[in-house]
Structure 1
Amino acid sequence: MELKYTIKRSVKRRKLTITVERDRSVIVHAPEGISDEKIEQIVASKRQWIYEKINHPQKYQDLPHAPGKELISGESILYLGRQYRIEIVKTGLSEIKFAQRFFIPNVQMSRRAEILQKWYIEKAKEKIIPRVKYHARQLGVDVSMIKIVDNRYRWGSCTLNDNVNFNWRLIKAPMFVIDYIIVHELAHLIEANHTPRFWNIVKAQAPTMEKAKTWLKENGQLLEMVI
């Protein structure tokens, strides 16, 4: 089976690293001077590890026919794991309103994707940050900073400075999925690697872990869509 990968070179990079993104694409981050032949050798030596990552439950397969939607009345969009209908309001509304459906002002139609993204980001801050604080207390970890970020390649991440970042697109997922991603990142502040101890910590704090992994595998691409 041919292993396809994309090479990204940088003059600032000193070390070659390989990442497998959520959509199962393989990216080789390489120093500027390294040859294609050397990269091929290194990738070949890491072949088993790469295939294990490709088949990891948090990765997802492309949908056979990715659904294309428009922000028009009658369509529906995701929020906290459920699809809610859109209604375009012609008068009396200046910003998005949510009440078991999305009311979008007609005057904002030219910027509808932009204003919807801003709405999602605000809701992500409102709902995800308190959950991070809750789980941090439960796990007994100290978090320096919590950020909601625009990152197309990670649901969440943590840094050496005990900062944690979460993708705003997570607000489209059910809360049990959000909780799993939060706990996953916070558990890295206790155990850096994906050891049995790490997974025991995650499962104890997020008992629906396997259900969340399955949801992400089946629906992850839906979160990536613009709307």
Structure 2
Amino acid sequence: MIQIHTLANHAPIALHIKRNTQRNIIIRARDASSLNLSIPKWFSPAQLQNWLRDNEATLIRILQQAPAALAGQPETLPPSILFTGEPYALRPAPVAQIERCDRQRLFRLPQQSNPAEQRDLLRQHLFQAAHAALLPKLAAHSQRLQLIPAAISLTRAKTFWGVCRARTGIKLNWRLICAPASVQDYVCIHELCHLRHPNHSRAFWQLVRQHHPQSPAAQAWLKQHGKTLFSLG
């Protein structure tokens, strides 16, 4: 059985669950965003959810330790990807570099490149687009809320959408460039609010909803579509 589980930071992971007669729970990484989970056959869905919540730090640690070799990518690219929440087709074309055509909602890929090279070029293009769009957005929200991080940057992490640390500042996952603007806004505000409340207390969530009333819709979008943002790895 495959189950999509959403971490507290709204990052989705795939759980490949197998039930057995043992009393222990066994976890192994499949790659940086999915786990093999062997659980007792008598475990109820509620017990499983409670266990996942209580052991989230362990899940993240195992995901982060997944060997890079496990994270191999398919030989072919998907027919389309999301960009700012909209589906964009991927089309080979006689071009020297990635070209984004917003009116047609498509990316033109160098047809002389193999799929692995096209994937790398597309990831690089999206990372640059994220740098140009997400960091100014975060800076604007920071000024508006008067919550100023030590620094802002992007991350290639596969286990969270954003992270806030007092010393190192806020890092946003570059893949958020593929999400709608309202979802990008939500993650920015979520991380900025951690500067005042470094937890997920009631006061923290009240502050998030005060500055982003549509946060439940953004959370629902990430839960439903977050996995697709990792289609390029």
Q: How many residues align?
A: 176
The match for 1:107 is 112
Match of 1:83 in 2: 87
Q: Report the secondary structure of 1:23's partner residue.
A: strand
Q: Describe how 1:24-35 pairs up with structure 2 within 5 A.
A: none
Q: Pairwise mapping of residues 1-227 of structure 1 onto structure 2 (< 5 A)?
A: 22-23=12-13, 50-52=51-53, 70-71=76-77, 75-90=79-94, 93-100=95-102, 101-110=106-115, 111-161=117-167, 163-226=169-232
Residue 54 to residue 207, structure 1, CA distance change in 2 (3 Å): farther
The answer as to whether partners of 1:21 and 1:27 remain within 8 angstroms in 2 is: no
For 1:71, what is the secondary structure of its paired residue? coil
1:80-112: per-residue Cα shift (whole Å, max 9, x none)? 11101122112xx21111112111121333500
The whole-number CA distance in structure 2 between the counterparts of 1:53 and 1:218 is: 22
Distance 1:48 1:172, change over 3 A: closer
- Cα separation, 1, equivalents of 2:170 and 2:109: 32
Partner-residue secondary structure (3-state), 1:197: helix
Given that residues 180 and 206 in structure 1 are in contact (C-alpha distance below 8 angstroms), is that contact kept between their aligned partners in structure 2? Answer: yes
Q: Using structure 1 for the length normalisation, give the TM-score.
A: 0.68
Describe the superposition over 1:25-52 as per-residue Cα deviations: whole angstroms up to 9, x where unpaired: 6989xxxxxxxxxxxxxxxxxx886454
Residues 20, 53 of structure 1: 8 Å contact kept: no
Partners of 1:142 and 1:162 within 8 A in 2: no
Shift of residue 153 of structure 1? Answer: 0.5
Q: Hey, what does 2:5 align to over in structure 1?
A: none
1:147-202 deviation digits (Å, cap 9, x = unpaired): 11110011100112151101111111111111111111110001111112111111
Q: String of CA shifts for 1:14-72, please: whole Å, max 9, x gaps.
A: xxxxx9974276989xxxxxxxxxxxxxxxxxx886454799xxxxxxxxxxxx89337
Letter in 1 for 2:221: W
* More strand as a share of residues: 2
Distance 1:51 1:20, change over 3 A: farther
The two structures have a TM-score, normalised by structure 2, of 0.67
- Residues in 1 aligned to 2:163 and 2:27: alpha-carbon distance in whole angstroms: 18
Identity score, percent? 27
Distance 1:117 1:23, change over 3 A: same
Segment of structure 1 superposing worse, 102-111 or 115-124: 102-111
Distance 1:130 1:147 in 2: 10
Q: Is the 8 A contact 2:93 2:109 kept in 1?
A: yes
Question: Would the alpha carbon gap of residues 203 and 24 (structure 1) be closer, same or farther in structure 2, given more than 3 Å must change?
Answer: farther
The RMSD of aligned alpha carbons is 3.1
Is the CA contact 1:89–1:105 (under 8 Å) kept in the aligned structure 2?
yes
Q: Which runs of 5+ in 2 are unaligned?
A: 1-8, 16-25, 29-47, 57-73
